Structure 1
């Protein structure tokens, strides 16, 4: 179950971000904060109709403020104790990667809580299929738990993708010969770990479909997301500055190629899952 007390929409209340943020605020009982962006940042239409849009959809107080910089946005997030930030992709071009704007790139690097980058959608309930790329790590499990909560919220299904990196053999050791069978040793281990990883989703009553692929992780994830019927990608940010920033090298490459909405979950910091996730 998602828990949020304050949700911030970056953009107009009548934009896709405003519609999606209002829907989430209504379902979680959160207060919706609307932050109209300066013209240089705007990804969606500016202005709002008092009789429609986010204000009418959410029985909550809407706080409107005008930021002066990314630092000002981050300051507001901290001061208002925002749990989730929702932003748009640009309206003036076709499908674009989540990191297509200066604002989303900066917030992806610096924001310390979940970040939802949406596309132009008239119906916020259009999210019916989620993709969770995973390396089966503890931070990736945190992202999967958020995906399970989102799937329950939207009545959606989840595809979980684990990519086994191809490594060239330098010698035919007994382990190498075992890996030349119909299913490699690394794939057996991956499938075993993936089954354990998915138990939480099955226990929550969510339809989960596991996938194991071989090759370069960024290539396979990008191909699966762009070619499949994926409505939202849920990704863990657990890299470091030494390895390509908070997304890590694989995540950075994926988000430069994939043209799908993104729900980014931090490896640490505030969670939308409440005390059970923190205890786990």
Structure 2
């Protein structure tokens, strides 16, 4: 039986020994499949198996990790498309033709955002402090996910994703629901003066603060302002700071790790 708890605003579920997190906002749509994975495993039947889930595609054992996760949540790995993330604002429309061979081969190069309206196709992006931005239009049945680090946030990839959903599928921004998943929080993302100035010039004073001679940038607020600017107001934040919750999520800033958690989203068939 699945166990359900909470972390921040997100639901935290144990599914057959694998812990995943989910958005309450997006969970109201039964046709939408979405998981933000965690590193935590409480049961692994394989002998000599891994003790935590690492979905970094660069990991030598990536297929073993991903297939272990996919089996638990009943997703077919052969129906997954993986982003090749470069901190850009590039967003691509995805179809079954974009599935690699082997399935984890990233055919779409230099892309940080994926959108689709194809049922049974799953979009996969990976993280360790950057923001998973999941967008869903329940009217047109279009789902998107974007990887937004501080560079992508400055480039407003969230805006780009909403515009592409509108251009390609006719999604109205007022009808789109967006959830910002676990990522580095406003009290943890310390920056230097140059980065602070870029955010100040782009988003204004409310995203930059100075505390005891240290400067912090609020990426969550920045992406909210970006989404508001294109008419998206149905926004939810996980309020889970990955820097402070490394028991569940990887944090590059805190751990200097190459390991990653993932956002996996798609439309049920």
Q: Same fold judged by TM-score > 0.5? A: no
- Higher helix proportion: 1
- Higher strand proportion: 2
Q: Flag the structure with larger Rg.
A: 1
TM-score, normalization by structure 2: 0.29
